[in-house]
Structure 1
Amino acid sequence: MSEFFYITGNDGMASLIEPWCAMLSAQRPEQEFQLSLAGSSTAIMALAADACLLAPMSRAPWAQELAAFRNVKGYLPSGIQVGWCGHGPRAGAKTPPAIWLHRDNPLAGLSMAQLAAVFSSGSPQGDITCWSQLGLGGAWLHRRIHLYGLRDDGKYASAFRRAHLANRPFPRHYEPLPDRRAVLDAVAADPFSLGAVGWFNAAAFGDGVRVLPLGQHEGDFFMPDAEAVQAGNYPLGSAVTLWFDLPPGGVPEPRLAAFLQLVLSDVGQQAVAAQSSSPEGYLPLNPAMLHAQRQRLQQLIDGRGKQ
């Protein structure tokens, strides 16, 4: 008798989900998968409605999605990270979330503390509003930093603010624009600006802008290339996470546990690595992170882990 396993989530992850499903079907012939991959915005809502067993996402859930799940269930969903999404810039592929600047701007990079002081108001270390505060001279010496980004409407900009700016507000001189293309257009026309956007095919945009290297510590900066993203060194890297409903004190049902174990197995991670050159640019976990996620999953299966 067939046993249906419903998966709802990210629309770019079929190249990962389908091989994993085929592997598990070979082990469990009674297992039949039903995929509805229409976008990450469908994932948590479907999970809250008991419309799926697994919800894959290539971004962190937005605050309103988690709040809606909690309102229905009384607790938050659980997730296991299984890889990374995006690296670049690469021709024909999306660059991960990044800070962009004019190609002629000489800034070498920003620490995350500096980034927060630039893009938010009320930093404990003091706000950074002028290029001279970042050590730039010449044409930038007496100029203020112009900021462009997306609207603070509960989506990317709001998630960026909560995750990286300590939930502080954007400063008054932050200019919200309607889409990512508009942000990069503004940055390309303004040498004194920085722009914050999510995934974007920058190679198709042209060479008027460049990605700003970032790091946790000043002077130790990383581009969002494959090596830095996989190592967890690029601060805005996007995790690929499989979300599921696990009540407090509960354990994953056997078919869910089997799927997650397969994804974290060597062969499951090889399926991720096989997509590293795809437009989505999926990357497997590095050995240390893989070990940590395997341990966490086993703790959940044993009833010893925190959701």
Structure 2
Amino acid sequence: MKAGRYAALLAAALVPLAAFAQEGAIPEPKPLVARYRAEDGRLTIGGGPEAEQVAGAAAGKLTARISGPDGAVPLLTQGTVMLAILPRTLTAMESAVVRRFSGGVPFTLPLMQGLYAHLRRDAAGTVDARALPIAASLLAPGGQTALTRSLPAYKPLSPEKLDEALQALSALPGATYAEAGSGYRAKDGTLAIVGSDTLTELLPDILQAYARRAPDVRFTTDLRGSSTAMPALSAGTSLIAPMGREAWQNDIDAFRQVKGYAPTRIRIAYASHGPRPDGKTPPAIYVNASNPVSGLTMEQVRRIFAAGADGGDIADWGQLQGAPHSDRSAPIHVYGARDDGGFGTAMRLSKLDGLPFSARYRSMASGKAILAAVAADPLAIGYATWMDAGDAPAGVRVLPLSKRQGSPYVLPAADGHRGEWPISYFFNVYVDARPEPGSGSRTAPEAKALLRFLLSDQGQSIIARHSREENGYLPLDSANLAEERAKVEAL
């Protein structure tokens, strides 16, 4: 097979995976930097224990950082390792995250049967030129012999697969990546913040106000999406991880593999409000517009969407007051996001007490697909993620919810009841708070000071001024604010 054709086929196979679970359009790419040169001049690769053997087979040119298969991906994303050595290909979610930050679909190179090296590519499809001769040496006879000897659990590539890998590698263009420091503090003392693209107007305003209080502290921001925030925090290249959603389980698992403990979450504001014609509606439960049910309690939500909730499953509309059909056997058709480690999994873990989805749950590819199904089905109910104004069809409505039986039904509107919306999502800031002996933790003092400002009366008033924007956040109510201030003081 011709090298160009093989590379094109490989890229084409990966693109649908990278398109999966994206947070909108890929942002404008920036030049990639390399943070993986060790003090002795060797280049750092990461992954599970196999990374040590791969480094050993590279004739002294590589050093290994054992970070686990999940933890290696955020390090690769941020350029803290040059190669991610994994005993598997990248998941769709991982490929999407790497691409969102680097601009290009990551390149996967088989080293042995079942063992792969993953490289970043920029928007032009280039990889770090220094990686090319090293990767080629691992596929050369001497490299394959060394890998086979040190990794007996893996079989060498067949001659055909080896030839295909070499051709694909030879077709890759190389570029010189500028080198950068390994942490979040630049040489001039500036502190980097990597995070959500929903904060492109709000966060600069907050940091400008903070600069008047702390003029000696300066920040640079790289706001390309929530999916880029946790990899940067895991790699130590961002002071904090500001996100417009909760960290997904794969985010937390990767951080835990790198650090050995979980990140700490601080809620700063309520994420979005609606329904409204000029902004995003936050995650909500939708029913067909013809459905007369006035609202649900969270107990009922769990019994509809999950299996095994207290009180038993609710399978028929007749089990609810104000059912859309007099026939008590009219089934509830349940729609929602896929349980793939992204929004659907995070919703299940945080809003459904970690229970498995109901056997009646129908997984859909996107929020728009969920609402289209609900609009077409009078017996439907759907749990959808953030929806842009105009994306919700006319045949659906947001269902009011209550935290418990007897509490009023509310919508996620910009009024005094926003804190009562029981499936609230937040502007979250995740921080690296390393557990200390006893009950304490160690957090960067600059991070703690910034969190204090975000939760101060001044910080919350700035958030309120931006509330009418498309991604408009709302300040916390007094109860949630007191909880988060106490968490920060305990850091």
Would the TM-score normalized by the shorter structure come out above 0.5?
yes
Structure 1: gaps of 5 or more residues: 301-307
1:274 alignment partner in structure 2: 465
Q: 1:245 matched to which residue of 2?
A: 432
Contact 2:287–2:397 at 8 Å: present in 1 too? yes
1-side partners of 2:432 and 2:373: how far apart?
Answer: 42
Question: Aligned to 1:196, what secondary structure does the other structure show?
Answer: strand
**Does 2:236 correspond to 1:50?**
yes
Match of 2:386 among 192, 195, 199: 199
In the superposition, relative to structure 1, how do residues 92 and 137 fare at CA in structure 2: closer, same or farther (>3 Å)? closer
Q: Which residue of 2 aligns with 1:153?
A: 340
Alignment check: 8 A CA contact 2:292 2:324 kept: no
Of residues 94-103 and 155-164 in structure 1, the stretch that sits farther from structure 2 once superposed is 155-164
Cα offsets for 1:215-271 (capped at 9, x unmatched):
1113531111122564x2101111111111111124333322221222122211111
Distance 1:190 1:299, change over 3 A: same
Q: State the distance in 2 between where 1:221 and 1:192 align.
A: 21
Where does 1:155-194 land on structure 2 (aligned, <5 Å)?
155-194=342-381
> Structure with the greater relative contact order (CA < 8 A, sep ≥ 6): 1 or 2?
1
Distance across 1 between alignment mates of 2:225 and 2:447? 21
Residue 304 of structure 1: aligned partner: none
Match of 2:305 among 119, 125, 131: 119
2:222 to 36, 46, 52: 36
Distance in 2 (CA, whole Å) between partners of 1:190 and 1:140 is 16
Q: Which amino acid aligns with 1:236?
A: I
| TM-score, normalization by structure 2 | 0.58
> SS of the counterpart of 2:461?
helix
Q: From 280, 283, 288, give the equivalent of 1:102.
A: 288
Instruction: Please say if 1:291 is aligned against 2:467.
Output: no
Say if 1:253 and 1:120 are closer, same or farther in 2 by CA, change over 3 A.
closer
Q: Secondary structure at the match of 2:246?
A: coil
Q: CA RMSD in A?
A: 1.8
| CA deviations over 1:76-121 (Å, ceiling 9, x no partner) | 1123221111111000211111110011101111111111111112
SS in 1 for 2:303: helix
Counterparts in 2 of 1:32 and 1:210: CA distance versus 1, 3 Å: same
Q: In structure 2, do the counterparts of structure 1 residues 46 and 16 end up closer, same or farther at CA, with 3 Å as the change threshold?
A: same
Query: Does residue 19 in structure 1 map to residue 210 in structure 2?
Result: no
257 and 169 in structure 1: CA distance in 2 versus 1, 3 angstrom threshold: closer
Alignment: residue pair count: 299
2-side partners of 1:166 and 1:4: how far apart? 41
Superposed CA offset, 1:171-219 (max 9, x none): 2222112111111111111111101111012544342100011111135
Contact 1:91–1:204 (Cα < 8 Å) also in 2: no
Alignment partner of 1:142 out of 303, 307, 329:
329
Structure 1 equivalent of residue 410 of structure 2: 222
Q: Quick one: which amino acid aligns to residue 446 of structure 2?
A: R
> Could you say what secondary structure the match of 1:147 adopts?
strand
What SS is found at the alignment partner of 2:409?
A: strand
Say whether 1:131 aligns with 2:313.
no
Give the Cα separation in 1 of the matches to 2:224 and 2:191.
17
Q: Is the 8 A contact 2:335 2:370 kept in 1?
A: yes
The equivalent of 1:262 in structure 2 is: 453
Between the aligned partners of 1:228 and 1:194, the Cα distance in structure 2 is 27
Which entry has the higher C-alpha Rg, 1 or 2? 2
Q: Provide the residue aligned with 1:62 in structure 2.
A: 248
- Alpha-carbon distance in structure 1 between the residues aligned to 2:352 and 2:475: 28
Question: Percent same amino acid among aligned pairs?
Answer: 37
Q: How far apart, CA to CA, are the structure 1 residues paired with 2:197 and 2:327?
A: 42
